[in-house]
Structure 1
């Protein structure tokens, strides 16, 4: 028997439909004429929690950290126990197994970990499903590969999973305990991707808070040429006075002197340089998940998680290809489906897509068709399945539109234009102008409604001119402008920042590493991480555009952590190592050893961390914790949040701590408290046993020794 194991039921059902019949649905699997199809529910095995390694870890204690498993354990998820037993039985009965997890790192691990858990020895093939339409599935079934070919991909997934566990379970506990010792009643989650992402939001908010508005001026001149008028912008010379750190003219006096000198000038201006270059702008690439999420956020204001969920629905309806793709290229073999896809789009009940598709030129082959750029999956595109556009929800229509628009653009010509740049010299000052003439609109016909980000001086239409021509200055003016603070992130722009995290790194080697691996996180997890930060109260959404604003716990966490966890540099190294592992150039064991060393170092740092004290009653003994109300065997009392490091305690008096009146004269840290001893009441230091100072009781007060007079003082 051949057994197909899919990642989820919907995928299993689609595979079964493409196998020879008849089909017979059973509890947890489908019997076909060519074997059996079963499935998981995502991760039906989960990583064990610390207390499932040892019950003592159920209580969080700094002295237990770091927790390092001798052998990594997987636990059958409670909700998947029944299905797991069905899969286990079918594996036992199978002669051959086909791994049908999603074609990515996580999908590889999902099925492999089940096969490893049951100690499978049967031969295993791998099917790579880029889309769930019938043609794509049948092609994939006809091109099965050896699952062993993807061993390195599984190792990379294991490394990522175990490293995340080490950081999440240990560092989260360490800094949560450090915060609690300072009186904060909070859990601080730490993750190798989540934390640098939160730090981006915190730092952006501080940039906004620290921003100081400044004025600057742009100077422009209108010139008359024999072939027409044009506008050019003043370009400061090297060493120009009055410029700010960004090279803008900020000194009003310099601006006014410049205008006065040029305003009354009768000198003839000269065209110093005039260069025209023919330029070509290739077709915009089809969409990866991140590109789709950013574009949908910009155009429709959609949340990245909702975009992923909608793309998943379209995939399951067989209308688009695999959604969790980090690739924006297409395999050359997929070119054969272009005629059918374009024909379907031309018949769509959507006027723009239908018109564009009808005009598409099937003979054009854009740069998107490149087998060398394909990894586990290709860009998200429409499938050959005909779409009933009217039956889609509004969000599904919008997402399908964006995917189809990017695909159709591949069959339009390259956008070509002529770019002219002119330098004009007038009274020894240089003015520059730019203009472009579109030669062929090409693929930009599909995006004509989008605003262009080009600068004004590059977009004008210039009259024909040549170097050495004369021009007359008609007028010179200055516009006052004001610097603006950086914008807060939205979910979409934060996701884009995660993908382009290299822009926030100064080290050139690390910058390149992060750029090569397309940022931090994966296409499937970025949106989920942002959503989790909002749900856990570290970020809140504000205003109509839902700008992301950090909360007080976010500042507490980012300020407490070392830079190695809040900046993406370490993550750049990790992502690089994971990629090397995927390529077979690094080992799982060495990577985990490095992560264990790193975790130990961070836990030591947490032990020495000094967080701001939170609470109305700072501990009078250690000064680093806060007194908190607790329930003891003899009733309520107040104890230091740093217990057992600090054992300070005092009675409760109507909801407030009854603080001692007397500081210990011996250690100067503890306070004297009245206690009952075998020989009667006495006063002892709260820092016992570190300080063993004791004093007799004298009418309800400690009998303290007299303070010696200072030498030279009054007698």
Structure 2
């Protein structure tokens, strides 16, 4: 018996429909004429919590950290226990198993971990389902691969899961305890990806708070050529006075002097440089999930989670391919399906898609068709299933539109334009302008103005001219402008920042190295991470423009952590290793060893961390904690937040800690207490043996020398 194990019931049902023979739905599986199909519900197994390794870890204590499992333990999720039993029984009856998890590293792991858990020794094949329409499924069934081919993909997913556990479980405890020692009544969750993501927002908000606009001046001059007028922008020399570090002219007096100098010259300029080149711009690639989320956020103001959920619905309706894709290329074998898909789009009821599809050239092959760029999945595209827009809601129609638009553009020619770059020399100053003439709109006909990234210095068409031609100066003006603050993040732009994380790394060498890495987090998790930061109160979404605003707990967390956790350098480097591991280039064991060492070091940092105190009553004994009201066997009392390292305790006096009668004048931290010694009563410091201050007893009071009494 061949047993298919799908990731979820909906996928299992679609596979079953494409297998020959009568279908019979049972409890937790479907029988067909060509085998049995069953399914999971995502991860049927979960990683054990620290307290499930050892009961002592149920309580958060600094002395127990770090917690490093000797053997990693998986447990059956309680909600999946029945389905796990069904899968286990069916595996026992099977002669061959087909792994039908999603075609990514997480999908690979969640079926593999079940097979490993029950110590399966049956042969396992792998089916890669990038679309759920009948033709795609049948094609995938006919092209099964050996599951062992994806061993390294599983290792990469295991490495990610274990690294997240080590950092999340240990550092969340370590830095929460450090904050609580300083009197903060809060929990600080630390994550390999979510912490540097949160730090991006915190640092951006601080940039805005510190931002001071600076005025600068752009000098533009108008020139007359025999073939027409044009405007060019002044180019300052490197040694020009009055420039800021960005090369902008910020000195108004120098701007005025320059204008006077230009007006006083003989008005005869010369074309010092003139070059016209024909340029070709290839088709914009089809969409990965991140690209779709960013585009939909910009065009329709949709948040990333809405885009993912909608793309998933379209996939389950068989209208589009697998949504959680980090790839923006397409397999060459699918190029032959273009004619059918484009014909369907012509009659699909969406006017723009119909018009564009009618003019598309199905035989044209853009750079998107490249087998070398394909991993387990490809870009998100329409399937051969015909779409009826009437049955879709507005959000679904809009997301389908963006996916189809990107696909159609692959069947339009490249965009061709003529670019001219001019430099004019006049009055010993240089002025530059560029212009372009579109020769063939090509794929930009599909995108229109959305495709244009017009630069300020781009002036459209310019008069025909050559190097050495005369250009007569007409006049000039200084446009006063002001530097603009950076924009606050929205969920969509923050997701784009996670994807293009190389722009935010601290190390300049690493910045270059990570440019080709696909950011931090995965296509499937980025939206979830942003939502979690909002749900846990670290970020608040402003209602009108949906800006993400960091809350006080966000500043506390980011300020407490070292740069290694708040800058994305380490996380991006780890993502690069995980990516390499998926291709067999790195070792799971070596990566976990590295993560373990990192965790040990940061737990030690947390032990020595000094966080600003939160509370009205700093502890007079240790100076590192604050006194907090507690209830003991004898009623209310005030104890130090640094307990058990500091055991200072004071009676409650009208809702305030009763001040110690005698603070030690030597260490200024301990309290003098009356004690019995060999020679009678004396007063000694409670910080003994760190402080050995002692004083004679005089009428039941410590006899403190006059020059020290001011302390008390």
What residue in structure 1 maps to residue 514 of structure 2?
514
C-alpha deviation, 1:275, in angstroms: 0.5
Q: Secondary structure at the match of 1:486?
A: coil
C-alpha deviation, 1:694, in angstroms: 7.6
Please, which moves more after superposition, 280-289 or 505-514? 505-514
What residue in structure 2 maps to residue 10 of structure 1?
10
What residue in structure 2 maps to residue 604 of structure 1?
604
C-alpha deviation, 1:674, in angstroms: 7.7
The reply on whether 1:162 has 2:172 as its aligned counterpart is no
Q: Secondary structure at the match of 2:420?
A: strand
- 2:267–2:474 Cα contact (<8 Å) kept: no
**Counterparts of 1:149 and 1:494, CA distance in 2:** 35
Deviations 1:91-134 (A, max 9, x none): 11111100000000000000000001111111100000001111
Q: Flag the 1:485–1:372 CA change in 2: closer, same or farther, 3 A.
A: same
What residue in structure 2 maps to residue 703 of structure 1?
701
- 1:514–1:520 Cα contact (<8 Å) kept: no
Q: Secondary structure at the match of 2:222?
A: strand
C-alpha deviation, 1:548, in angstroms: 1.1
User: Structure 2: any 5+ residue segments left out of the alignment?
Assistant: none
**Counterparts of 1:643 and 1:238, CA distance in 2:** 61
What residue in structure 2 maps to residue 389 of structure 1?
389
Q: Secondary structure at the match of 1:449?
A: helix
C-alpha deviation, 1:603, in angstroms: 0.6
Q: Secondary structure at the match of 2:454?
A: coil
Q: Flag the 1:482–1:508 CA change in 2: closer, same or farther, 3 A.
A: closer
**Counterparts of 1:14 and 1:435, CA distance in 2:** 54
**Counterparts of 1:304 and 1:676, CA distance in 2:** 70
What residue in structure 2 maps to residue 569 of structure 1?
569
Alignment of 1:332-371 (within 5 A): 332-371=332-371
What residue in structure 1 maps to residue 468 of structure 2?
468
C-alpha deviation, 1:238, in angstroms: 2.7
The reply on whether 1:216 has 2:216 as its aligned counterpart is yes
Q: Flag the 1:319–1:681 CA change in 2: closer, same or farther, 3 A.
A: farther
- 2:415–2:440 Cα contact (<8 Å) kept: yes
C-alpha deviation, 1:545, in angstroms: 1.5
Alignment of 1:245-394 (within 5 A): 245-394=245-394
**Counterparts of 2:579 and 2:512, CA distance in 1:** 13
- 1:133–1:383 Cα contact (<8 Å) kept: yes
Deviations 1:319-343 (A, max 9, x none): 1000000000000011111011101
The CA RMSD measured in Å over matched residues stands at 2.0
C-alpha deviation, 1:513, in angstroms: 4.0
**Counterparts of 1:128 and 1:418, CA distance in 2:** 44
Q: Flag the 1:662–1:451 CA change in 2: closer, same or farther, 3 A.
A: farther
C-alpha deviation, 1:689, in angstroms: 7.3
**Counterparts of 2:238 and 2:436, CA distance in 1:** 27
Alignment of 1:500-511 (within 5 A): 500-511=500-511
Alignment of 1:37-116 (within 5 A): 37-116=37-116
- 2:614–2:626 Cα contact (<8 Å) kept: yes
Q: Flag the 1:506–1:56 CA change in 2: closer, same or farther, 3 A.
A: closer
C-alpha deviation, 1:506, in angstroms: 4.6
User: Structure 1: any 5+ residue segments left out of the alignment?
Assistant: 711-715
**Counterparts of 2:389 and 2:707, CA distance in 1:** 95
**Counterparts of 2:673 and 2:102, CA distance in 1:** 66
What residue in structure 2 maps to residue 642 of structure 1?
642
What residue in structure 1 maps to residue 184 of structure 2?
184
**Counterparts of 1:298 and 1:83, CA distance in 2:** 41
The reply on whether 1:148 has 2:148 as its aligned counterpart is yes
C-alpha deviation, 1:585, in angstroms: 2.4
C-alpha deviation, 1:535, in angstroms: 0.7
Deviations 1:246-273 (A, max 9, x none): 0011111110011112124333111111
* TM-score in terms of structure 2 length: 0.96
- 2:696–2:703 Cα contact (<8 Å) kept: no
The reply on whether 1:231 has 2:223 as its aligned counterpart is no
C-alpha deviation, 1:193, in angstroms: 1.0
Please, which moves more after superposition, 238-247 or 434-443? 238-247
**Counterparts of 2:506 and 2:683, CA distance in 1:** 59
The reply on whether 1:546 has 2:546 as its aligned counterpart is yes
* TM-score in terms of structure 1 length: 0.96
What residue in structure 1 maps to residue 632 of structure 2?
632
What residue in structure 2 maps to residue 173 of structure 1?
173
C-alpha deviation, 1:582, in angstroms: 1.6
- 1:541–1:548 Cα contact (<8 Å) kept: yes
Deviations 1:651-673 (A, max 9, x none): 11222211213202454311246
C-alpha deviation, 1:543, in angstroms: 4.4
**Counterparts of 1:91 and 1:688, CA distance in 2:** 67
Q: Flag the 1:451–1:417 CA change in 2: closer, same or farther, 3 A.
A: closer
**Counterparts of 1:131 and 1:314, CA distance in 2:** 10
Q: Flag the 1:85–1:657 CA change in 2: closer, same or farther, 3 A.
A: same
Q: Secondary structure at the match of 2:457?
A: helix
Q: Secondary structure at the match of 2:450?
A: coil
Q: Flag the 1:350–1:499 CA change in 2: closer, same or farther, 3 A.
A: same
Q: Flag the 1:137–1:512 CA change in 2: closer, same or farther, 3 A.
A: farther
C-alpha deviation, 1:537, in angstroms: 0.9
**Counterparts of 2:289 and 2:633, CA distance in 1:** 58
Q: Secondary structure at the match of 1:477?
A: strand
C-alpha deviation, 1:572, in angstroms: 2.6
Q: Flag the 1:593–1:456 CA change in 2: closer, same or farther, 3 A.
A: closer
